């Protein structure tokens, strides 16, 4: 703001402090109006015929001298503060004033595209797709909150620093020392709404993962005040705002995020999980394209299914590329049926069943591709054991006869480890308790550790409706208090001084192990390939 100060006032006295003179105050605008009107008055007095250029120059020189003296008089003797214009925010170089900092909520994508909060309509279901073909890093997406490498306060930045450094303010009266209150913050979230801002701060050059997309970037600015040191008025208030952008990195080639079987009994007491390969909300996410034998599933049964979350291609794309039916690369007896289900690719196993009275099976390798030329492997796995449930209950001798003699092919009553990796009465997976641990089965000293239930979860018709695994209520072993649990026979004898002819049984809902007399007719019949 333009300021005057009495000549008699000490130079050290602030301009905004009143002088001792009780004189009138005149603004610069009013002073200029008086001067312009004075010139018009002179022009009206002098006839046009004598208004030569020389005369006008002389007239202006005399009057400018008069005005300068008059202005000095005002400045030195008649005013202490001259009111001026208020400082203001501007985001277009001063063309327009702004009473909000919402333009600071914008973000810039790697291809240079700028997204603005006033026009962005992205959502989780309709995100903005980044066009880059190269992998995108967190640092490739710019906001006005500088990245950690140049901002120790990340994910925050003061509005004072932002507005001043970007010259997003002006004061027509010439002040150069503004103060702006408020701050700007940024927050990153993945598709599960998990806050990953700390992850971005710790590694801004980390690549965006399509399986965690769409990402949400929320930029928020508080309201505040822009003020200057001198003059009246010397401050203006402004409003803040908040906006969330949803962005999707381009994924090429397509990628499998996880393979999800039944999760219903995830929260059941006693059920544990190997968190290096299992997520309680997604299923198996550890994927090894070089070693398909380490991928889910290693076990199978007719009409069991799992869902595959894929990025970079749609389920329809994968079905078109691989076909609705996929045959094994090696092995016999099993095929895959592909379909779309709730945005995921559903893979249903088709093979020998009780309805077909069994059939030949040998370990079967499957591969799914994400390109027409079958060069980009999306997923691979090997079904190494095949199971057939009879659908009813009977004594152990009846179950043994069904597996060995009724079914075509080579089948037998399973062992405990063909069902579960529980550590109860079994040297199962380290860390597993009474029930099964969600984990892919593996071999140890040529013996399987784990089987159907630790991979597929609760295996009954309630969760796999078209399967042979009928739900029924077994007579629970005495130590198990759960009612209406379905148990299946194993061929393993439980040697005990208290009981005779007791064999182990396994619960289909949790993989827990019990035992019962071989003539108990309430346990289920199931068989596994030899």
pLDDT tens profile 367-404? 999 999 999 999 999 999 999 999 999 999 999 999 99
Place of tokens 């949790």: 510
CATH tag, 387-529: 3.10.100.10
pLDDT tens profile 218-267? 999 999 999 998 878 889 999 999 999 999 998 888 999 999 999 876 55
Using a cut of 0.85, tell me whether the model's pTM lies above it: no
- The per-residue pLDDT for 333 is 98
Mean pLDDT for 10-27 is 38
Burial class (CB in 10 A: 0-12, 13-18, 19+), 73: exposed
Q: Is the pLDDT of residue 360 over 60?
A: yes
Q: Which of 314, 309, 28 lies closest to 192 in space, CA to CA?
A: 309
Helix (H, G, I), strand (E, B) or coil at 361: coil
pLDDT tens profile 40-51? 545 555 554 444
Ramachandran quadrant class, 205 (left: phi over 0; alpha: psi -120 to 50; beta: rest): alpha
pLDDT tens profile 434-490? 678 889 999 988 999 999 999 999 998 989 999 999 887 666 555 454 555 789 999
CA–CA separation, 363 and 384 (whole Å): 4
Q: Residues 494, 502: contact at Cβ < 8 Å?
A: yes
- The per-residue pLDDT for 412 is 98
Q: Residues 221, 239: contact at Cβ < 8 Å?
A: no
What residue spans of 362-446 are helical by DSSP H? Answer: 396-401
Q: Residues 82, 223: contact at Cβ < 8 Å?
A: no
Taken in order 444, 446, 447, 451, the sign of the CA dihedral is positive
CA–CA separation, 273 and 283 (whole Å): 10
Helix (H, G, I), strand (E, B) or coil at 422: coil
Using alpha carbons, list the distances in angstroms from residue 268 to 375, 431, 438. 42, 16, 12
Q: Is the pLDDT of residue 335 over 70?
A: yes
Q: What is the mean pLDDT of the chain?
A: 84
Q: Which of 17, 72, 75, 64 lies closest to 36 in space, CA to CA?
A: 64
Helix (H, G, I), strand (E, B) or coil at 221: strand
Q: What percent of the chain has pLDDT over 70?
A: 78
pLDDT tens profile 133-188? 688 999 999 999 999 999 999 999 999 999 999 999 998 877 778 999 999 999 99
Domain chopping of the chain, boundaries: 1-84, 88-248, 255-386, 387-529
- The per-residue pLDDT for 263 is 87
């Amino acid at each position: 703001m333009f300021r005057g100060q009495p000549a008699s006032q000490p130079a050290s006295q602030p301009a905004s402090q009143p002088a001792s003179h009780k004189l009138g105050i005149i603004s610069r605008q009013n002073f200029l109006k008086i001067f312009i009107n004075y010139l018009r008055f002179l022009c009206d007095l002098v006839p046009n015929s004598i208004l030569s250029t020389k005369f006008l120059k002389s007239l202006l020189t005399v009057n400018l001298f008069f005005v300068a003296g008059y202005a000095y008089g005002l400045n030195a003797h008649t005013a202490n503060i001259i009111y001026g214009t208020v400082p203001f925010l501007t985001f277009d170089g001063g063309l327009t004033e702004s009473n909000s900092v919402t333009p600071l909520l914008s973000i810039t994508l790697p291809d240079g595209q700028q997204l603005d909060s006033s026009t962005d309509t992205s959502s989780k279901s309709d995100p903005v797709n980044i066009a880059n073909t190269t992998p995108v890093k967190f640092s490739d997406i710019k906001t006005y909150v500088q990245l950690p490498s140049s901002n120790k306060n990340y994910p925050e930045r003061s509005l004072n620093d932002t507005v001043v450094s970007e010259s997003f303010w002006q004061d027509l009266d010439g002040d150069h020392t503004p103060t702006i209150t408020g701050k700007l913050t940024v927050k990153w979230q993945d598709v599960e709404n998990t806050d990953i801002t700390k992850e971005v701060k710790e590694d801004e050059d980390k690549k965006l993962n399509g399986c965690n997309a769409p990402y949400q970037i929320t930029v928020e600015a508080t309201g505040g005040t822009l003020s200057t040191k001198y003059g009246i008025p010397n401050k203006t208030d402004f409003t803040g705002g908040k906006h969330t952008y949803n962005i999707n990195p381009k994924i090429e080639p397509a990628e499998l995020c996880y393979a999800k079987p039944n999760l219903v009994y995830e929260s059941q007491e006693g059920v544990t999980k190997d968190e290096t390969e299992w997520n309680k909300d997604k299923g198996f996410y550890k994927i090894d394209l070089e070693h398909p034998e380490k991928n889910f599933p290693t076990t199978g049964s007719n009409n069991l299914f799992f869902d595959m979350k894929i990025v970079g291609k749609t389920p329809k794309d994968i079905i078109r590329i691989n076909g609705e039916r996929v045959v094994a690369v090696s092995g016999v007896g099993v095929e895959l049926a592909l379909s779309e289900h709730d945005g995921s690719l559903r893979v249903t196993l088709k093979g020998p069943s009780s309805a077909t009275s069994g059939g030949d099976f040998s370990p079967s390798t499957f591969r799914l591709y994400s390109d027409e030329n079958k060069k980009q492997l999306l997923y691979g796995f090997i079904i190494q054991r095949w199971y057939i449930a009879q659908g009813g209950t009977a004594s152990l001798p009846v179950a043994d006869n069904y597996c060995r003699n009724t079914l075509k092919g080579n089948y037998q009553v399973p062992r405990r480890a063909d069902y579960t990796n529980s550590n109860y009465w079994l040297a199962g997976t380290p860390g597993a308790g009474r029930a099964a641990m969600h984990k892919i089965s593996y071999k140890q000293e040529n013996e399987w550790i784990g089987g159907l239930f630790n991979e597929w979860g609760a295996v009954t018709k309630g969760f796999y409706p078209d399967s042979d695994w009928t739900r029924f209520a077994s007579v629970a072993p005495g130590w198990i208090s759960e009612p209406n649990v379905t148990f299946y026979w194993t061929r393993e004898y439980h040697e005990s001084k208290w009981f005779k002819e007791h064999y182990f049984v396994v619960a289909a809902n949790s993989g827990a192990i019990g035992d019962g007399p071989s003539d108990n007719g309430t346990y289920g019949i199931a068989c596994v390939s030899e």
